[in-house]
Amino acid sequence: MTSQVLPVTDDHIHIDPVNGRGLAAAKDFQRLGGTHLFLVSKPTSSFGIMPRKGKDFAPVFDETISVAGAIRDLGLSVFVVLGVHPAEITRIAGTTTLDEAVVIMEEGLSVAAEYIREGKAVALKSGRPHYETTPEVVDASNRVLLSAFRLAAELGCAVQVHAESGPCADLADLGKRAGIEPFRIVKHYATPDTPLTPSMIATHPDIPGMAAAGRAFTMESDYMDENSRPGAVIGPKSVPRATFRMISAGLISEDDAHRIHQETPERVYGVEIAL
């Protein structure tokens, strides 16, 4: 088994040449056998932007797309995921009303949808706060999520969801209401109990069991690439490293690895994962 016959896909990673290691982190991923990555846009706060309108998200999306181009020049395949980080609701509502924050975030998602229509990105990102908050904020976030699901149904694309830990089973129903299948909703930082497609942190101990059970899931590092928060997450090498370690230890088979890194992301995102 070498990296030449097995695609290795990180389903959720950030690369930030301004605040982090940038391309050096992408090279680390590649050196360990990583081949494909889903590059996710960062929150507007990482760019010192306080969004007032949907178009205020555009510089963040443009930066993500330009970083994707630079990573492709290294020989990696990059799929761009654009959207509005769920924590934006608290930040934006702090300077306006909750209803206005919902509108601004929905506009941001519409701007992201334009990039998907143009083929510059493959999926939307949305969610609700993963931290303790008020029922009003949860309700407002669910309205944003419903808009994201409706846009995704219209575009025929997937949505990565960042939400509280646990199954988030209600999001499968919310997705169905909007016309999007639960398997096209990817639960970022997932636990195995979700009816959505779980994207598992590479070091999650349940991966071998889920693979043996034939579950459809992906793997991610959620590497943030911020020098100010070096220990915040696991590193950019973690998906290829964990994958090859589990294969050599006999914890997952090569077929399992193909399902995790190729078949599942191809089906969920409607992309081709080729070497």
> Which residues bind to Zn ion, rule: CB under 5 A?
222
- What's the token pair of residue 16? 């930030």
In the complex with Zn ion, the residue whose CB is nearer, 56 or 222, is 222
In the complex with Zn ion, which residue's Cβ is closer, 148 or 252?
148
Helix axes 58-72, 98-117, angle to 10 degrees: 40
Minimum CB distance to Zn ion smaller for 42 or for 259: 42
How far is residue 143's CA from residue 249's CA, in Å, rounded to a whole number?
45
The nearer residue to Zn ion, 6 or 233, going by C-beta atoms, is 233
CA 260 to chain centre: 15
Least distance in angstroms from the C-beta of 57 to Zn ion? 16
What is the Cα–Cα distance from 97 to 115, expressed in whole angstroms? 28
Task: Name residue 125's beta-bridge partners.
Answer: 83, 160
- Residue 191, burial from CB neighbour count under 10 angstroms (0-12, 13-18, 19+): middle
Residue whose CB is less far from Zn ion, 87 or 257:
87
Structure tokens at 65: 């797309």
State the nearest-atom distance from the C-beta of 222 to Zn ion, in Å.
5
Minimum distance of Zn ion from residue 84's CB (angstroms) = 13
Instruction: Report, in Å, the least distance between residue 239 CB and Zn ion.
Output: 14
Q: Which residue is nearest to Zn ion (CB)?
A: 222
